[in-house]
Structure 1
Amino acid sequence: MLSRSMRVSPSVILLLALCFFLGYQFSRSQFPATFAPSTSPSGSPSEPPRATGPRIALVTFVTDERSYLHASLKGKSHYARRQGYDFIIDYEEHAKRGTMWWKFEMITRLIKEKKYDWLWWMDFDTLITNTEIKVSDIIQETLANVTNPDEIDFLLTHDCNGLNMGSFIVRAHERSTKVFRDAAAIEQRHREKGEQFSEQDSMVSLLRDDTSTSQRTFRVPQWKLNAFPEEIACFDEAGQAWKPGMFLLHFAGAWAHVDGEDPTGQLMRKYENEVLWGEWADMYELTI
């Protein structure tokens, strides 16, 4: 046992504890904790830049093998890394209403996570052709043209047949999830009558009949967010086909417009050569 003269006073113990705590905090500030780096498409680890504007995620899914699997994934992953956005992809779906309803399930799930301000849905048969263009700029430019920008939740496009939901932007807000629930209710009513109603059909019906929903949407020119190539001549009233330098290509319904066993793959491989990728060195730092 320690003698009475060797016992340490409580004030000394408190001082030593304080010094230890301050030293620990200082070491943390000098040597911040490291996190597991993300993996680049090439397989080498690197940390992508983070966007300084609104928090945005690109969202899509694919459930089977495609001849253009690499082209579609590479383009979206590269773009998200360059702009500092998140890229969210599901490889399976369990939508009871039909495969394409899974897009609404994914978006609803992400809204509930409260990590994002906006979500950009893209069908998998899309190719980002100008990775310099920021989808946040498209959002900002669009909302600058409306009276109450905080009330706009959906940025949609049309083609020659009307609404096309192959590429659209949605505000990550509870109001948006209500729209999806209302669309599902429309589908349910038609299913009970023995009718098939897609997620796009349901949204068309909702936008036509529900004023509150239509007032929260803004129609963006097709060429700006959902351009079709000249081979798929189904444009909105502007009649504008994709041109080099435009943002995105969507090969919707390629099977009806292009001959061959793999129409979408053929177009994807053709236009992949037109992609403006930017400097890869700005995104990947070599370590060896």
Structure 2
Amino acid sequence: MLIRSLRRIPPSLLLLLVFLAFFGWQLSQGPNHDAPEAPRAEVGKKSPRIAVLTFITQQRSYVYLSVKNKDHYARRHGYDLFVDYESHTERAVVYWKFNMAEKVIKSGKYDWIWWLDFDTLITNTDIKVTDIIEEELRNATNPNDIDYIVTHDCNGFNGGSFLIRGHERSLKFMYDAWALDDDAKAKGENLNEQDALFKLMKEDEAGAHRVHKMPQWKLNAFPEEISCFDELRKPWEHGMFVLHFAGAWAHVKGEDPTGYLMKKYEGDIIWGDWKDFY
């Protein structure tokens, strides 16, 4: 009898009754306390925008290797590389790095600028400079106040590899360095950009608290041939991030000391697989 009665019910009504019966049963079960809720997807943190800057104004034996190395690194991590081949400043050519940094900062496109002298090699391209920045800011008392992340060598500040926040506030330190250079010229003296910044770090208390010093080996390591280390006295080792051949002419004999060292350490570069990003 039940089957005959069901046959008289229209299919659409029968389907509705089945759905309502199932829905009522689900409600009667109450909430399920056994199965955990699926975790919410974590919103990814936006990676800082990085500009890598360098320049070369003369023919050198290591031009190709130096440019290739920095270009490879920038491509691998999605950074922008700026290379200048001319210096248009009335100051010493080393001050041109400030002109380059000023232009990039004023573009408003970058969170941090990484300056690298041309006589450097990024010897471990696995390492992200953004990770270096984040780690060092965690070590700073007031990370939002930091505009410069620098290293020292045996003589004090070394400008071969350092970081500048991409904020117009950072420009004051560079402008003050230019002013020191003007004062030196008026006195018939020479003051390079490295000495000018070091002088400011020691004498300008308002600006000095915006500078964070990190261990030399982490961003600006020297090879054992150039024994001018900071207080940690830690030379470059395989797997470290950056190798800088600062003042090679004073430490290595020969006609081309920097070229010699570049070639010597080229085989130690950890490049990564170019097929992943090229």
TM range (shorter): 0.7 to 0.9
Q: Find the counterpart in structure 2 of residue 92 from structure 1.
A: 86
Matched, 1:140 2:134: yes
- List alignment gaps of at least 5 residues for structure 2: 1-44
Q: Which residue of 2 aligns with 1:256?
A: 250
Structure 1 residues not aligned, in runs of 5+: 1-50
1:183 alignment partner, one of 159, 177, 182: 177
Aligned with 2:273 (options 248, 259, 279): 279
Give CA-to-partner distance per residue, 1:34-78, whole Å, 9 cap, x none. Answer: xxxxxxxxxxxxxxxxx9510001100111111001110010000
Task: Map 1:22-171 to 2 at 5 A.
Answer: 53-171=47-165
Aligned to 1:239: 233
The equivalent residue for 1:197 is: 191
Q: Which residue of 1 aligns with 2:22?
A: none
Q: Secondary structure at the match of 1:102?
A: helix
Question: AA paired with 1:98?
Answer: A
CA distance in structure 2 between the partners assigned to 1:74 and 1:52 by the alignment: 27
Q: 238, 259, 262: which is aligned to 1:268?
A: 262
Residue 133 of structure 1, CA deviation: 0.2
- In the other structure, the counterpart of 2:35 is none
- One-letter amino acid of the structure 2 residue matched with residue 111 of structure 1: I
How far is 1:95 from its partner? 1.5
What letter matches 1:91 in structure 2? Y
Q: Residue type of the partner of 1:70?
A: Y
The reply on whether 1:172 has 2:160 as its aligned counterpart is no
Which amino acid counterpart does residue 271 of structure 1 have in structure 2? Y
Matches of 2:219 and 2:202, distance apart in 1 = 22
CA distance in 1: counterparts of 2:274 and 2:179, whole angstroms: 46
What displacement does 1:200 show?
1.0
TM-score (norm 1): 0.80
For the residues of structure 1 that align with 2:154 and 2:276, how far apart are their CA atoms? 39
1:7-26 equivalent positions in 2, closer than 5 A? none
Q: Percent identity?
A: 58
Partner Cα separation in structure 1 for residue 59 and residue 142 of structure 2: 43
Secondary structure of 1:266's counterpart equals helix
Q: Secondary structure at the match of 1:108?
A: helix
Deviation at 1:147, TM superposition (A): 2.1
Task: Report the residue type matching 2:148 in the other structure.
Answer: F
Higher Cα radius of gyration: 2
Shift of 1:108: 0.4
SS at match of 1:181: helix
TM-fit CA distance, 1:201? 1.2
Matched, 1:227 2:214: no
Deviations along 1:64-115, one digit per CA (max 9) or x if unpaired, are: 1110011100100000000110001111011211100000010001101011
TM-score by length of 2: 0.83
